[in-house]
């Protein structure tokens, strides 16, 4: 037989972490015995607040068989702490056992505790332990009213779920058409082909227009990026700065002045001391000689 001690101890450790002081181990030896105090409203350990807020309380006592959880269910009992009758105890035990069966083969104590606590929260009223006829009738009336409200709430939720808006109906119809598809006939194919051809032609025109626009843009860009004559000349002869050239020309013009004799240095004056008068030179004789030579030449016969 498989030993489940380690698995059971791990479950006890988890329950202790969840329920804190509300969980106790009554027997450390196998079969283990655990107990969990359950209340409708958890007040964080404040006993006075817990007493005021909770009208019903129980303690779930669990005897853990050696082959639990894989091969059998836990043995459970309830100890009434406050506000419940024997009938309530029987009802709660039935709920606890049903929850344990639904979790057979796995640790089930936490799920059982939650189911019991949910019932306590729904029935957290005074007088459940009153065994008088009047009290029983009142409890039955309240229980019937609670069940009716719960049934109405479930009905409204189901009704709301079933009601669909127009948009949801349209979406459902679209999904249905997609799933079923459209039967292919000569007429439907011709309609599809005409639509497809028109779309492709339109797409082709758009692509052509886009290509033309790209070509125009490329040509404009190429034209804008062409170098000017000044840039071409500057690349060949070096970059010219017109402002600097004008400034240099103006500076040269401003620097022109009469020569200073002192700047000329020593000059040989004998080169310019000549007694001969240039006015005595006879330039007219040379001209007359030239005229006579021309007259001696006669016309050819």
The phi, psi pair for 78, rounded to 5°, reads -125, 135
- Name the range with the highest mean pLDDT among 45-49, 114-118, 175-179, 257-261: 114-118
Distance CA 127, CA 139 (A): 8
Say which range, 4-8, 113-117, 136-140, 241-245, has the weakest mean pLDDT.
Answer: 241-245
pLDDT of residue 102: 93
pLDDT of residue 109: 96
- Beta-bridged to residue 80, according to DSSP, are 58
pLDDT of residue 52: 87
pLDDT of residue 33: 96
* C-alpha Rg value of the chain to the nearest Å: 60
- Which of 110 and 123 is assigned the larger pLDDT? 110
Q: Tell me if 71 sits within 8 A of 95, measured CB to CB.
A: no
What confidence tens digit (pLDDT) does each residue in 252-289 have?
Answer: 777 655 555 554 455 555 655 555 555 555 555 555 55
Q: Which of the four pLDDT bands, split at 50, 70 and 90, describes residue 229?
A: low
Distance CA 73, CA 107 (A): 10
What confidence tens digit (pLDDT) does each residue in 34-79 have?
Answer: 999 999 998 877 788 888 889 899 999 999 999 999 889 999 999 9
Vertex 106 angle, CA 102 and 108, to 5°: 60
């Amino acid at each position: 037989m498989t030993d489940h001690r380690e698995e059971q101890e791990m479950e006890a450790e988890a329950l202790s972490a969840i329920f804190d002081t509300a969980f106790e181990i009554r027997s450390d030896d196998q079969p283990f015995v655990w107990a969990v105090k359950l209340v409708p409203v958890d007040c964080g350990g404040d006993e006075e607040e817990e007493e005021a807020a909770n009208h019903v309380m129980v303690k779930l006592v669990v005897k853990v068989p050696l082959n639990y959880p894989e091969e059998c269910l836990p043995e459970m009992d309830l100890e009434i702490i406050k506000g419940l009758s024997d009938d309530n105890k029987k009802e709660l035990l039935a709920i606890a056992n049903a929850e344990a069966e639904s979790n057979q083969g796995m640790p089930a104590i936490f799920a059982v505790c939650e189911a019991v606590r949910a019932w306590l929260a729904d029935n957290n009223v005074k007088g459940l332990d009153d065994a008088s006829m009047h009290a029983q009738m009142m409890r039955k009336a309240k229980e019937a009213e609670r069940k009716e409200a719960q049934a109405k709430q479930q009905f409204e939720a189901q009704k709301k779920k079933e009601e669909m808006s127009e948009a949801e109906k349209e979406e459902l119809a679209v999904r249905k058409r997609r799933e079923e598809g459209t039967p292919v006939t000569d007429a439907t194919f011709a309609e599809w082909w005409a639509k497809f051809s028109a779309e492709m032609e339109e797409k082709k025109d758009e692509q052509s227009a886009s290509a033309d626009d790209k070509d125009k843009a490329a040509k404009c860009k190429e034209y804008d990026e062409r170098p000017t004559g000044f840039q071409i000349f500057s690349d060949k002869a070096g970059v010219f700065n017109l402002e600097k050239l004008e400034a240099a020309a103006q500076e040269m013009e401003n620097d022109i002045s009469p020569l200073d004799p002192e700047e000329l240095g020593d000059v040989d004056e004998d080169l310019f001391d000549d007694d001969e008068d240039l006015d005595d030179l006879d330039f007219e004789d040379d001209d007359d000689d030239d005229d006579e030579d021309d007259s001696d030449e006669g016309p050819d016969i």
